[in-house]
Amino acid sequence: MIDLSPFVRPGTGIWWSQASAEPTPLVHALLDQADLLGPVRAFTGMSWDHRLTTALPPGVTLVSYGALGALRSLGRGRLQIVPCHYSALPRLFANRRLPQDIGLVQVSPPDSSGYCSLGIGVDYVADAIEHTPVLIAEINERMPATMGSPRISYNRFSAVVHTDRPLLEAPDRVPDNIDRAIAGNVAGLIMNGATVQVGVGLLPTAVLEALSGHTELGVHSGIISDPVLDLVDKGVITGVGKEIDVGLIVTGAALGTEELYSRIPGLPAEFRPTSYTHAPAVLARLRSLVAINSALQVDLTGQVNAEVSRGRHLGGIGGQADFSRAAASTGSGSIIALRSSVSGHSTIVAALDGGVVTTGRADVDVVVTEHGVAHLTGIPIEMRAARLVAIAAPEHREALERALARTGSRRTELRAGTTVASAPAGAPRSSRRTG
């Protein structure tokens, strides 16, 4: 085990790579030594390290841009969520708004010139490195070297540990019939030659599988997964129609299986920093961009909540707002796809939980469930609700219509310039002119 005491002091701010690039031996060394090192704040993104949720030392405070993976299990007070667009992370590191005294990274073995690659975990790490004085590296023999971002001199590391272990793989789950129904509806909205952005998970997997009959698709996304391989093999993903980075898959990270990781060096792919993959100026050049994102809830005006469900943080803003805004304003379309109900609760709602709005209604062109497609572009607020109720779970539509009727009555009162005050039982109600 590496001794972190020469580098970590009480109050030190630490960040580390996320998801499949998480430097697990270094993180566990920090957890093992935390009681001796003093209180620290630590930033990471998606993590499946259950030691963070089952054995997090009291002296370690976790900070993240969302509650992703195992971090969903952390109670309030143990995880501090910074609500921000993913595109803002480079600026937050540059302005010292996030922990950045020490960075823990997982990299490829050095090449013949002594330079290491961040491999499949470039994303915010490449931007944070520029503002982090101390880097400690896990040099993993199985981390592939990737193109697209500057390599790091071996001499830049203050300490290293050498490993030869499999990269972390995404949870092995298979889309079900509902996922596939949603995906089929999404696929019908995407034109040949589009440049797509899609995340990882069951529904994104189903969407990518449903695109197998398309042609000349491009990819510009924050993260890629295994289904991309199949689309490349079938000649579906070629990138020939992209306005920039023609012929290239552009991403910040990869999250999948060993097959994906082993084939990455042979793919026409470049792994770029968040300051490129999510930059508004870059995305604005992709006129063919179609953003496909998921949600926890969509309200009857088209506002999206991808962060909170019934009082619990279960997600984050991430890159959804960045890509949705670009796709809706300068690209080819912003799609929000979700199941119509989860655990018996409708995901099409009259009001979002906690009033949390991840993506504004002006940045949503289409909402898709297994029951159909609701086109919202250019549709007035008063007409949107009917379209969204029509794709809600049938058992919840009547309740949504009642909620809509109540909202309509309230709006009528406001347009008339009156408010109704509550009165004690048995007392007459009176109206008061507000204009």
Is 431 among the domain residues?
no
Backbone angles phi, psi at 316, to 5 degrees: -165, 170
Same domain, 185 and 266: yes
pLDDT of amino acid 78 = 86
Residue 6 lies inside a defined structural domain of this protein: no
Pick from 163, 193, 211: which residue ends a domain?
163
Q: For residue 430, what pLDDT is reported?
A: 34
Is residue 70 a part of any domain in this protein? yes
Residues 113 and 250 both lie in one domain? no
Domain endpoint, select from 103, 135, 163: 163
**Residue 55: CA atoms inside 13 Å, Cβ hemisphere, count?**
12
Whether residue 208 is found in the same domain as residue 339: yes
The answer to whether 435 and 417 have CB atoms below 8 angstroms apart is yes
Structure tokens at 415: 């347009």
Residue 411 has a pLDDT of: 52
Tell whether 351 and 237 lie within a shared domain: yes
Q: Is 152 found in the same domain as 195?
A: no
Q: Indicate if 116 and 244 belong to the same structural domain.
A: no
| pLDDT at 416 (0 to 100) | 53
**Same domain for 186 and 158?**
no
* Rounded (10°) angle between helices 202-210 and 177-187: 50
Our CA dihedral for 314, 319, 322, 327, rounded to 10 degrees, sits at -100
Q: How far apart are the C-alpha atoms of 72 and 87, rounded to whole Å?
A: 22
Is residue 269 within 8 A of residue 249, CB to CB? The reply is yes
Which tens digits make up the pLDDT trace of 39-81? 999 999 999 999 998 889 999 999 999 999 999 988 777 899 9
Residue 10 has a pLDDT of 96
Owning domain of residue 357: 177-394
Closest Cα partner for 373 from 416, 319, 342, 335?
335
Q: pLDDT in tens for each of the 435 residues of the chain? A: 799 999 999 999 999 999 999 999 999 999 999 999 999 999 999 999 999 988 899 999 999 999 999 999 887 778 999 999 999 999 999 999 999 999 999 999 999 999 999 999 999 999 999 999 999 999 999 999 999 999 999 999 999 999 999 999 988 789 999 999 999 999 999 999 999 999 999 999 999 999 999 999 999 999 999 999 999 999 999 999 999 999 999 999 999 999 999 999 999 999 999 999 999 999 999 999 999 999 999 999 999 999 999 888 999 999 999 999 999 999 999 999 999 999 999 999 999 999 999 999 999 999 999 999 999 999 999 899 999 999 999 999 999 999 988 876 555 443 555 433 333 333 333 333 333
Q: Do 268 and 358 belong to one domain?
A: yes
* Residues ≥6 apart with Cβ < 8 Å to 79: 62, 63, 64, 67, 71, 313
Same structural domain, 131 and 215: no
Q: CA dihedral defined by 339, 343, 348, 351, rounded to 10 degrees?
A: -150
Residue 248 confidence (pLDDT) = 98
Burial (CB count within 10 angstroms: exposed 0-12, middle 13-18, buried 19+), residue 274: buried
- Please tell me the predicted confidence (pLDDT) of residue 427: 34
Do 122 and 252 fall into the same domain?
Answer: no
In a domain, 430, yes or no: no
Q: Are residues 159 and 262 in the same domain?
A: no
CATH of the domain at 75: 3.40.1080.10
Round the average pLDDT of the chain to a whole number and report it: 93
Rounded to whole angstroms, how far apart are CA atoms 347 and 185?
Answer: 17
- Domain's final residue, options 139, 163, 187: 163
